[in-house]
Chains A and B, each alone.
Chain A
Amino acid sequence: MNNLIRLTEHGPERVNEDLWTLALTGEEPADGPRILSLTAWLQCQPESVLSGQEPSADAVCLQPDDEAERLQPYLAVLPLIAVLFPSFRDGRGYSQAYLLRTRIGWTGELRAVGDVLRDQLSHMRQCGFDAFAVREDKSAEDAIKGLNGMSVLYGRSAIEPRPLFRRRASEC
């Protein structure tokens, strides 16, 4: 995928040579590894992958109707999880990401794909995404500016489990 931003320990970086291809219909031409829909992924994995004995060559992409909990048994074999935003106004991906990080226990790359735009990136980051495939017609360089968002978050997030009232208390 082009137009990718990835969070690293040195901060956000643009990635131009990402090998993954989002292949939700299964018909997309792909030179490298593919990100499949949950249904397709479950269908085409060999038993050794499904039983957790060897890593999968394919990544999975959750669509808004998918239950994030269904990935629980496969965390050890998945190379990457993507979450699709078919429209940036569809907020289900935020809950999926939050659950993957805080409850299901996914620690690998969590990539937002689809209608991924600058003005939502900080919310995505706070819900646990660490990679953002910015919509192709937009500038990833520009979108990076949206990552920080506000310095104050009242509630908690996937990256800051303590709400502000607990952080406030620990300061004094």
Chain B
Amino acid sequence: MYHYDEYDRALVAERVAQFRDQISRRLSGELSEEEFLPLRLQNGLYLQRHAYMLRVAIPYGTLSADQLRALASVARDFDRGYGHFTTRQNIQFNWIELEQVGDILARLAAVDMHAIQTSGNCVRNISTDAFAGVAADEVLDPRPLAEILRQWSTINPEFLYLPRKFKIALCSASEDRAAVMMHDIGLYLYRDAADEMLFDVMVGGGLGRTPILSQPIRRALPWQHLLSYVEAVLRVYNRHGRRDNKYKARIKILVKALGIDAFAREVEAEWQHIKDGPAELTRAEYERVAASFRPPSYPPQPAVDLEFGSALARDAGFARWVQRNTHAHKQPGYVSVTLSTKPGADMPPGDVTAEQMEQVALMADRFGFGEIRVAHEQNLVLPDVAKADLYALWQQACEFGLATANIGLLTDVIACPGGDYCSLANAKSIPVAQAIQQRFADLELLQDLGEISLNISGCMNACGHHHIGNIGILGVDKNGSEWYQLTIGGAQGKLSALGKVIGPAFSAEDVPEVIAQLAEVYREQRQGTERFVDTVARVGLAPFKARVYPAQEVRA
């Protein structure tokens, strides 16, 4: 992973001092809340229902074991013993006191971490595939360019007060696991026949009130122009994006209003001014950053591992976990392991205790070259594990509640913190997620249903990405009570799709049963090994609607 040098460290240290000073000026009343608000947001600090929430950046979801230990220590010493991993691969602490934020940030700075631009109307954490650098289907490692973008966008003075937040994601595997098409800028990275790195640039994606998938704006952009092209897009957006209505201020609205062709022409005209200037990336800089991401030297593994094979045969629980929770690796004899943070009723999705974090750090040290990833599905990943170590790792993960074999299944629920914490929420997310997980506790049934993504957001801001869940659940407020609107057919990846609303909203109590009915319809309608989302695409909404709204025809 990327190693800080003296510049990176100086910047983070100065930022801690700067924000400490701003906090003390807020506490003394010298800064009004209005003046303080964007400053604290750009340092990851939200004011929620009960307390401040601090969102710490995990650049493109990559952590060292020591960094995870530092996060555990923050959870233990400054919060209530846990943290919440987010859909932007970051972590949030929900019970923070303003007076302590400086000390927390100083502790994080000691392990080269910060909370810069995890919120606010600026470029947010750059995200990518949780399996970046190790996935078998990857063309090249996107992390060096993600890090270069991270640096370029950090405290870039021109772009700190954009019309609205701005999210960038990269992906360079054949499967898009970074939800690239729902980002303000999405970058598909690949190599041409001459081995040069190129980008297909997408623009104008985003969820929220007006969900829109991004559109291609430029094909085959040479990698040297990454920064200048992104700068051109941001400058056009900063100058022309709407600022009169926060719900129409994202770049997707500007792209839609101008049309992609006119928008692309604006960007092209701007880019022509700067493309061959000093922002052009150099090979030397790429190599400098890429050196941090060289793969570890993997001890060779035997071609046939009898012990692993017999553990699979002997222990059905282990076999199921290996099948569900491991991912194909570039290196023979290795896999990536996903530790599920979705055990069901015991913990809300994405929540991890300090003790679990410490255990994961130990597992990473013992079995995974000391590295951990955060997936945008809110799970934790050990990217480099030898198959020979899987059984021991699994046993340890079981002991600490991190071995639920449900990755990609219906109970691998993606959920925002919702009304239990967030002051924007219309409805709670966590109890609904847990009720659904309880309803589908039967592993046989769950396995039989196969891959189904289920996403829950507590409000239109869509932090739970409900629009791109195969099943999406959106909390809505109806005369002061909490209701849930369901969509089906959403999908992430290269075949991204926005889910369609199936009908009127349900009460919280009814949601698990309605999901069960949707699952039943799927089981009846599916052909062969067809997944839920494929069945929805083939048969449409009608059979699902007919089951969950049976009285409607009678009323009509």
Contacts of A122 in B (CB 8 A): 157
Contact A150 B155 (CB under 8 A): yes
Interface string of A120-134 (1 = CB under 8 A from B): 101110110000000
Contact A126 B157 (CB under 8 A): yes
A-B contact pairs, 7 of them (CB 8 A): A91-B121, A96-B239, A154-B156, A155-B152, A163-B152, A165-B281, A165-B282
The interface-forming segment of B6-14, B303-311, B493-501, B532-540 is B6-14
Cα distance A111–B31 when bound, in Å? Answer: 23
Cα distance A152–B116 when bound, in Å? Answer: 14
Distance in Å: Cβ of B125 to nearest Cβ of chain A = 15
Our count of residue pairs bridging A and B at CB distance below 8 angstroms stands at 103
Q: Is B301 an interface residue (CB 8 A)?
A: no
Contact B11 A89 (CB under 8 A): no
Contact A95 B239 (CB under 8 A): yes
The residues of B with any CB-CB pair to A shorter than 8 Å are: 7-8, 10-11, 14-15, 18, 22, 31, 35, 38-39, 121, 148, 151-163, 227, 235, 238-239, 243, 273, 277-279, 281-282, 284-285, 288
Contact B161 A94 (CB under 8 A): yes
Distance in Å: Cβ of A92 to nearest Cβ of chain B = 6
Contact A95 B14 (CB under 8 A): no
Contact B158 A152 (CB under 8 A): no
Q: Is A2 an interface residue (CB 8 A)?
A: no
Contact B161 A163 (CB under 8 A): no
Contact A151 B160 (CB under 8 A): no
Contacts of A151 in B (CB 8 A): 10-11, 14
Contacts of B277 in A (CB 8 A): 161
Cα distance A152–B157 when bound, in Å? Answer: 12
Contacts of B158 in A (CB 8 A): 91, 94-95, 98, 123, 127, 157
**B contact face: mostly helix, strand, loop, or mixed:** helix
Besides A117-B35, A152-B11, 20 other A-B contacts (C-beta < 8 A): A88-B35, A91-B158, A91-B160, A91-B161, A92-B239, A94-B160, A95-B158, A122-B157, A123-B157, A124-B157, A127-B157, A150-B14, A150-B18, A152-B10, A152-B14, A155-B153, A155-B227, A155-B279, A162-B278, A165-B281
Contact A119 B160 (CB under 8 A): no
Q: Is A153 an interface residue (CB 8 A)?
A: yes
Contact A91 B159 (CB under 8 A): yes
Task: Identify the closest chain B residue to A139 (Cβ).
Answer: B30
Contact B278 A163 (CB under 8 A): yes
Contact A90 B282 (CB under 8 A): no
- Contact A94:B14 (CB < 8 A) given known A88-B35, A154-B152, A156-B279: no
Contact B157 A94 (CB under 8 A): yes
Contact A89 B155 (CB under 8 A): no
Q: Is A168 an interface residue (CB 8 A)?
A: yes
Task: Identify the closest chain A residue to B10 (Cβ).
Answer: A152
Cα distance A88–B11 when bound, in Å? Answer: 23
Contact B18 A91 (CB under 8 A): no
Contact B161 A169 (CB under 8 A): no
Cα distance A37–B134 when bound, in Å? Answer: 57
- Contact A156:B278 (CB < 8 A) given known A88-B35, A103-B273: yes
Contact A119 B239 (CB under 8 A): no
- Contact A89:B238 (CB < 8 A) given known A127-B157, A163-B152, A163-B279: no
Q: Is A44 an interface residue (CB 8 A)?
A: no
Q: Out of B227, B238, B243, which one reaches A163, CB within 8 Å?
A: B227
Distance in Å: Cβ of A157 to nearest Cβ of chain B = 6
Contacts of A163 in B (CB 8 A): 152, 227, 278-279
Q: Is A164 an interface residue (CB 8 A)?
A: yes
Contact A92 B157 (CB under 8 A): no
Cα distance A109–B466 when bound, in Å? Answer: 50
Contact A91 B282 (CB under 8 A): no
Task: Identify the closest chain A residue to B6 (Cβ).
Answer: A152
Distance in Å: Cβ of A59 to nearest Cβ of chain B = 22
Contacts of A161 in B (CB 8 A): 277-278
Distance in Å: Cβ of A18 to nearest Cβ of chain B = 24
